[in-house]
Every structure is written in C-alpha cells, then in structure tokens.
Structure 1
Amino acid sequence: MKTRYSYGGDEHIFVEMDEEMSLDAFFKALFITNAVRDAKIKGVTEICPANASMQIKFDPDVIKPADMLSELKKFESVAEKAEPVIKTRIIEIPVYYNDPWTHETLMRFRERHQDPKSTDIEYAARINNLDGPDGFIKAHSGAPWFVSMVGFVAGLPFLYQMVDRQRQIEAPKYLRPRTDTPKLTIGHGGCFGCIYSVRGAGGYQMFGITPMPIYDPNQKISYLRDFMCLFKPGDIVKWKPIDRAQYDATVADVDAGKFAPLMRNVTFSLADFHKDIDASNRKLNEVLHGH
C-alpha cells in the first residue's frame, strides 16, 4: 500500500503507512514522527505515533496545511532510505497468569464471550492450536513484544509480538465489552497485547495480571517519578511468568518503594530481526539478563 495522507479538519494530518500492522510500517511512522519532533517545525502542536500510522496536529495560522503536508512527504522519502535501527529499552514485566482477580472478572462476563464454557486463556490456547494454558503461557512469554503505541487510556501500551506472522497469537475481543477489568490486567485483542493501566471497561481477552505499576499520575512510585507513564513507542517488553508468592512479594516491594524493574538499553535493528527472528530475540534476552 502506498502511504495515505488525509486532512482532519483544518489542523490535523493523518498518515496511514499500511492497512495492516507490521514492524516495517511502525518503524516508518516512528522515523517520521521523530524527524518532525527533531525538526521543531513552527506551528506543530502535537505528534501522535500509532501502530501503523501517525497524526500531526498543527496551527494553520502558523503553517498552512499544504506546507505541513509537503514537509511530511519530505520526511517520508528520507524514511524510505534510512537504516531501520533504534536505540531503545527492553523491560521485563512479571505476569501472574491465571490469577484469581481476572478469573473472577471473566467468570462474571461469560455471557459476553465467544466460549462461555472456558476461560479466556483456555479459549485463546485452543484457537491458536496451543497445548492448553501451559502451552499458551510458554508461547505468550517466550518471545519479546514491541510497544507500538501508548494511549486509549493514559499509559496503556499496545504490544506487537515479535515472531513471524504464523506464530503470532491472535484472539478476538469479547462479543460485547465488559464493564470491568482489573488494573494491570494483561489483555489481548486481534494481534495486539496490552496492559490495562487503570481499572475500567474493556473487551480484550484477559490472561493474567502484573504486580508492576505502569502508570502513576502522582509520580510517587520510584521508577515513575520522572514521568507518570512507563512506556513509549519503540520499547520492548519481555514477560516473566511468576506465581502467587512472587506476585505478593513484588506488590510488597512496590508498596515499600523497593521494587526496581529489570530494564536495559538496547540497539534494535529491524534488518537483523528479519534476517533471523529467533537469533535476534535471543540476543535481546541476553542483553536483558546481562549475558
């Protein structure tokens, strides 16, 4: 698909890189949004990267819509020639799969689900041809995930599984949304994973919960003092399965201000990833654990 540009009223330009999500489309959008930010174009008031698209908000009294469009097209031609490499972070997120809180919630909303007789994780395992909940957890936590956008609600990351398309976990949203989802639920809808940053309504399948806060508007949690949202597009997430005792211990450490997330700076090359996905993922894991 050729990049599609469209105006949103007088002060937005929406740019669609592709109709389907891919890391290539994401990288192109990320390059352009970073280039717009670095260029400090007068009149640009907001830059919003998304999964395979982006939106720029600008003041039409400062820069004309046609001039803004031509600036973006210039950046696109540079993006097409640029080497797809980013300096980013890999972050380990502990997950208590099949936890009692999401289980209690999903049981309350079975009539809204595709398969009322099974749990969300059993259903997702079955439709992805995985060997029950254990096989699902192994597949879900076995490879890293890319943060492709942050939003919908404050601090909520959308996550794209870093495996070839045939191995990607896919699961539809609930038939009708729930009116409740526990805070820090690990969810999934379509090809995207997410972490619910706050309690509220939701329609994604629920697989577990993390004890690690990812959003703190009061900025009192030690690792969220500089910025209230943990994630930014381009971050890489690695799930770490934990049990109830580890979950409780981590909650206590967070409350005591003693918890420090495991995160490392890393250089990620999309070309190397495409060359050998599993080798690229192993290298990321080695960086994370300091090997």
Structure 2
Amino acid sequence: MSNRYSFGGDEHLFVECDESMSLEAFFKSLSMTSAIRDSRIRGVTEICPANASFQIKFDPDVIKPDDILAEIQAIEKATTKAEPVINTRVVEIPVFYEDPWTHETLMRFRERHQDPQATDLEYAARINNLGGVGDFISAHSGAPWFVSMVGFVAGLPFMYQMVDRPRQLQVPKYLRPRTDTPKLTVGHGGCFSCIYSVRGAGGYQMFGITPMPIFDPEQKTSYLRDFMVFFRPGDIVKFRPIGRDEHDGIEGDVEAGRFVPIMRDVTFDLREFRKDIDGYNAKLEGEVHGG
C-alpha cells in the first residue's frame, strides 16, 4: 500500500506505511527513514522510526509543510525500487524463563489479569493452543525476532518474531497495567515481545528475565560505554533459555566487566527469507555461533 501522510501540529509529519505490522512494512519504514537521514533535508530536526510507521519533526521556519511532504513523497517513490536487504547483526539474549522475580510480581497482580488462576506463561500457552509452558518457551525461543522499534521508555526494544503468520504468538496485555515490572523482564503484548530496560509500570505478560543489561545511562557496563542503549532497529534477536546457575554466573560476569554479548554482523535479505523461513532462520542461528 502507499503511505498515508498526516501532519501533527506545525512541526510533525506522521507517515503510516501499513495498517498492520509485517516485515515488509517494517522494511519500508526502515529504508525510508535511512534515506531521509542520508538526504539531510534542511529543516528536519528529528526522525523517529516505529514498527510500521515513522514520524518526522521539522522546523516550519526553515521548510514549509507542503515542501517537507513533497520531499518525503519523492523519497517514498525512490525507495520502492530499493532491494529489501539490510546489513545488521544477530544477537543472542540469554533468558531465565519462569524466574522467581517475575513470578513474584505477576502473583501480586493476578486481579489485573485475564486468568487469575494461571501464570502468564500458562495463560499464553493455553490461548496459543500449545501443550504447556515448555512448548510455549520452545516456540518463543525457537525462532529469531526482529527489533522493529526502540522506545516507549529509554532502550526498550519491540520485537516481531520471524515466522509465518499462522505461527505468530499472540497474547493480549493485562486487563489493567501493573505498577511494577522487574528490570530486564522479557514481556509480550499482542504479537510483540519486549525487554523492559528499567523497572517500572507495565502491562505486557511476563515470561522471564535476562541477566544482560540493555540500557545503562551511566555507561559503566563494558559493552555500553560507547552508547547507553544496546538495541537498534533492524537487530535480530535469538533468545536462549538458561537456568538459575547460568543467570547468576552471567550477572557476576556483567558486574566484573567480563560479559560480552554473543553477536555477529550479518546481511539479511527479505526475499531469501520468504523463500525458506525456517532454513533462513537456521542459517542465522548458525551465524551467531560462528557456524
């Protein structure tokens, strides 16, 4: 579909690439925002990409609204011919599923949940017609996820799983948001997974926790010294289930400055991915482990 354009006040242009999330919509948003950044349009002060849309902030004293619209529409025409290929990285994220911290939290907020008699993982497994918690964890960690957006709170990644639509895991948010969510919780709402970069309120289902920091405003974490936010749109995430001992060991390595995330630079081709989703995902997993 063609983009839908609308103005927000005097300084913002909102561009909707599609009404629903898909890898195609995400690629269109990513390619357009990259092209806009590279074009250095005079008067553009900020570009904010999202899952299937993006927003541009501009200075109306420098460029008129009609002129910024014309510039962006010209870029849309140019990027429709672009190859759906990006240079990105695959990152392995260790996850302690069914951890005690998110469990304690979810039990405090059962009255806000659709199924107060079940844990978040039990509920997610049931409504996705899976055999149980183990099957859900296997599905959640079995295929990689695209980081389609970073934001809402600083450093929080929204991730969309790289499977065909019938296998998309769908879990609604809590009926009412919690007032507490542990830092580094792996959550899920709708078709999106996320990692809570800081402790705070939240409404996503809670499945586990990672010992790997993804946001450090003090930049003391060894791999966050150059930039406080770890994730960026286009990253590919592979979750790896771990137990309590490995979780505690990684936490200790992070504290000592020894932990280094497992990641590899890759080229992702959407066309090749569509030809053989599972085969392409297996290739990506091999890349992250140097295969």
The residue that corresponds to 2:103 in the other structure is 103
The residue that corresponds to 1:163 in the other structure is 163
Q: Deviations over 1:13-67 (max 9, x none)?
A: 0000111000100100101100011111111100000000000001011111111
Q: Deviations over 1:136-164 (max 9, x none)?
A: 11000000000000000000000000000
The residue that corresponds to 1:46 in the other structure is 46
What is the distance in 2 between the residues matched to 1:217 and 1:162?
30
1:16 equivalent in alignment to 2:16: yes
1:129 shift after superposition: 1.0
What is the distance in 2 between the residues matched to 1:65 and 1:32?
18
1:218 shift after superposition: 0.4
Q: Deviations over 1:88-147 (max 9, x none)?
A: 011000000000000000000000000000000000000001121110110000000000
What is the distance in 2 between the residues matched to 1:281 and 1:129?
23
The residue that corresponds to 1:205 in the other structure is 205
1:78 shift after superposition: 1.3
What is the distance in 2 between the residues matched to 1:121 and 1:257?
32
- Relative to the length of structure 1, the TM-score reads 0.99
1:2 shift after superposition: 3.0
Residues paired across the two proteins, number: 291
The residue that corresponds to 2:58 in the other structure is 58
1:255 equivalent in alignment to 2:248: no
What is the distance in 1 between the residues matched to 2:180 and 2:54?
30
The residue that corresponds to 2:193 in the other structure is 193
What is the distance in 2 between the residues matched to 1:167 and 1:17?
23
Other structure's SS at 2:48 match: strand
Code of the aligned partner of 2:237: V
- Relative to the length of structure 2, the TM-score reads 0.99
Gaps spanning 5+ residues in structure 1: where?
none
Other structure's SS at 1:81 match: coil
Q: Deviations over 1:171-197 (max 9, x none)?
A: 000000000000000000000000000
The residue that corresponds to 2:241 in the other structure is 241
What is the distance in 1 between the residues matched to 2:62 and 2:275?
44
Gaps spanning 5+ residues in structure 2: where?
none
1:86 equivalent in alignment to 2:86: yes
Mapping of residues 144-159 of structure 1, within 5 Å: 144-159=144-159
1:226 shift after superposition: 0.7
What is the distance in 2 between the residues matched to 1:129 and 1:251?
34
% identity of equivalent residues: 73
What is the distance in 2 between the residues matched to 1:128 and 1:227?
38
Code of the aligned partner of 2:276: D
The residue that corresponds to 1:268 in the other structure is 268
Q: Aligned Cα RMSD in Å?
A: 0.6
What is the distance in 2 between the residues matched to 1:147 and 1:140?
15
Code of the aligned partner of 2:212: M
What is the distance in 1 between the residues matched to 2:74 and 2:60?
19
What is the distance in 1 between the residues matched to 2:113 and 2:104?
14
1:141 equivalent in alignment to 2:119: no
What is the distance in 1 between the residues matched to 2:189 and 2:121?
12
